Amino acid sequence: MGNVFYRAEIRQEQEPRRPPTLEEARAIGDELYVNWEYVSAETLHKGTLVEMEHGLVNLRTNVTNDDWVMTAKIALAHINEHPLYYELLESMEKDLKSRVSPAVPLFLSPLGSKDV
């Protein structure tokens, strides 16, 4: 029997959700008991915007289904690694774009194929 995980059919069941506003990110942070003395709402918001890439924008790499709380938790995990995580990420991505050719396709079969 093959690896079921990699052969699962991928299909779009809903449209991507818009990212949260700064005010919504602050409310999510309150819900998650974020200590605002150490993390700004702006930093959490920026991180949440970046981490929306783990949602419905790419069905093959979707892990959050655009759930804002789950997305904010990913952002907080990175901010916990380093308070300037997103500033450093932005700098690194600009540097990479100036040095490296665009990413190559990672998947061989078309989206929705049963051979995924």
Q: What is the pLDDT along the chain (116 residues), one digit of tens a residue?
A: 444 444 444 555 678 899 999 999 999 999 999 999 999 999 999 999 999 999 999 888 899 999 999 999 999 999 999 999 999 999 998 888 888 776 677 676 666 554 44
* Token couple for 47: 């991180």
Short-list 63, 65, 74, 60, CA closest to 28:
74
pTM of the model: 0.77
Helical packing angle, 85-99 and 68-81, nearest 10°: 90
Distance CA 67, CA 24 (A): 12
Short-list 57, 75, 76, 78, CA closest to 66:
57
